[in-house]
Amino acid sequence: MGMTEEHTGGTAERLRRDKERKVAALREQGVNPYPYGYARDATTADCREQAAAWIDGGKTVALAGRLMSQRVMGKTSFGHLQDHRGRLQLFLRHDELGAESYQRFVKLVEPGDHLGARGRLFVTRTGELSLRVESWTLLAKALLPLPEKFHGLQDPELRARQRYLDLAVNEDVRDLFERRSRILRFIRGFFDARGFLEVETPVLQALYGGATARPFRTRLNALDLDLYLRIAEELHLKRLIVGGLERVYEIGKIFRNEGMDRAHNPEFTMLETYVAYWDYHDMAAFVEELLAGLVAELTGSARLPYGDTHLDFAPPWPRIDYFAALTEAAGRDLRGEDEDALRALAAERGIAVDPAWQRGRLLDAFCAKLVEPGLVQPCFLVDHPQAISPLAKEHRSKPGQVERFEVFAAGFELGNAFSELNDPVEQRRRFEQQMGLRAKGDDEAQVLDEDFLRALEVGMPPTAGLGVGIDRLVMLLTGTAHIRDVLLFPMMRPEA
């Protein structure tokens, strides 16, 4: 029979009181349970890598980390010390440490505590590399216990809410976030090697723009001004292109006041880049090179394991026309259908739509439901309706469409790119069209930005732009099913 919540709570409180008594006992013995530092000179990984030489040379090393296990066998004790590079067994003996130090370890130290341990490496009779401890130091006494080792920390919500505990006990979680860091390093190196300049643009903005999304609002008391958290980096980065910075990129936080699901978090990380004198064909080739190189960095080839298959990122990828794919999936050409017909068909197909959506948003709802889930292998969905792409150039040969692509793999969008609209008169017309949609109730339509229009009037060269959702990319590259699992601190409902 499992423990009731009351019993569980009571057990936790008793454990805490026991740990507090141990803290008091340590202080009575003149031991500071929270000292200021420790002179560590090696990691557990160093010990594994240098084991043979250090054992032969009798080298003394000082390790530091969290005690993850403890086994007392009379006058001999074992434990496992974990640092950011792995675990190593500790071996402690009464006659080597002395009675006082050994008894303190046995009676007042337990798993969860941080320790420093100094000694020499050896290999036990069972073949396990270990540290024969000559002295140890308590570095931080934990007042809450670690999850018990057999079941561990498994509740996905609790793991996301208490990421510090998740990281402490789950090695695969630490590995995932190290891979995320490796992905970001590769991306920055890729851009830097090609002459791009990494920049930073404002998060707090008087006007929000660059995407179709609802913003978060805040207030700047010093200027008595309402501000918004940015929903994209786009419009400020384009201002830099106007100013003559021909290749720029930014990796930063974006905030959208929208729904949450396995692929969406209100706060997320976006890569955006803009390149003067490119169009979306140039950018597509760049994306193929970037992602194929990134997959090769992680896997050794351009193929990425995914479920029971592989995703092949080797260029070139298919270019799939938006309306051709939509016609095939819907079984009819929707370009000529009016809003009433589209709403009726949406109801018939079980596709949820907002009453305020106009024709472009309705078409995109069909695409999201009928087309996108089938885009498993890496590909570009190209040439979207102009009505849902107010910042993209009109397609040079397809009326009503724009030069835009979305990057898809594994059935969801990874990125979005345009041949950027640089005609200030046409951009003003598009903004005014968006403001008309807002007046009809579409609160995600874009707002008119006079300063951005002024920048375009100064003159922006032909430009291609790209946005990539870093969190979704990390999900794909690490085989992770939910966005919260690739965020160190995802948005969570407050605890009751």
Domain ranges of the chain: 11-146, 169-318+377-486
Could you tell me which residues are beta bridge partners of residue 402? Answer: 394
The proportion of the chain whose per-residue pLDDT surpasses 70, expressed as a percent, equals 97
Residue 333 has φ and ψ, to the nearest 5°, of: -80, 115
Asked if 78 and 93 touch (Cβ cutoff 8 Å), the reply is no
Fold equal for 11-146 and 169-318+377-486 = no
Could you tell me which residues are beta bridge partners of residue 312? Answer: 303
Does the structure show a pLDDT above 60 at 151? no
Asked if 470 and 145 touch (Cβ cutoff 8 Å), the reply is no
Does the structure show a pLDDT above 90 at 51? yes
User: Before 147, cis peptide (omega within 30)?
Assistant: no
How many C-beta neighbours within 10 Å does residue 6 have? 8
If you average pLDDT over residues 2-30, what whole number do you get? 79
Q: What is the pLDDT of residues 168-226, one digit of tens each?
A: 999 999 999 999 999 999 999 999 999 999 999 999 999 998 888 899 999 999 999 99
CATH class, range 169-318+377-486: alpha beta
Q: What is the pLDDT of residues 78-98, one digit of tens each?
A: 999 999 999 999 999 999 999
How many C-beta neighbours within 10 Å does residue 228 have? 20
- 48-62, 91-105, 208-222, 397-411, range with the lowest pLDDT: 208-222
Q: 3-class SS at 348?
A: helix
If you average pLDDT over residues 127-149, what whole number do you get? 93
CA distance 478 to 79: 31
| CA-to-CA separations, 477 to 383, 419, 460, in angstroms, rounded | 27, 27, 35
pLDDT value, residue 100? 96
**pTM for the model:** 0.91
Q: 3-class SS at 492?
A: coil
Half-sphere exposure of 285 (CA within 13 A, CB side): 4
What's the fold here for domain 11-146? OB fold (Dihydrolipoamide Acetyltransferase, E2P) (2.40.50)
Convert 237-262 to b/e letters by CB count within 10 Å (16 or more is b): bbbbbbeeebbbbbbbebbbeeeeee
Helix extents (H) in 371-423:
none
Residues 6+ apart with CB under 8 A from 358: 339, 387, 437, 440, 442
Does the structure show a pLDDT above 70 at 230? yes
If you average pLDDT over residues 120-127, what whole number do you get? 96
Q: What is the pLDDT of residues 431-451, one digit of tens each?
A: 998 888 888 887 778 888 999
Residue with tokens 């692509």: 405
Asked if 381 and 404 touch (Cβ cutoff 8 Å), the reply is no
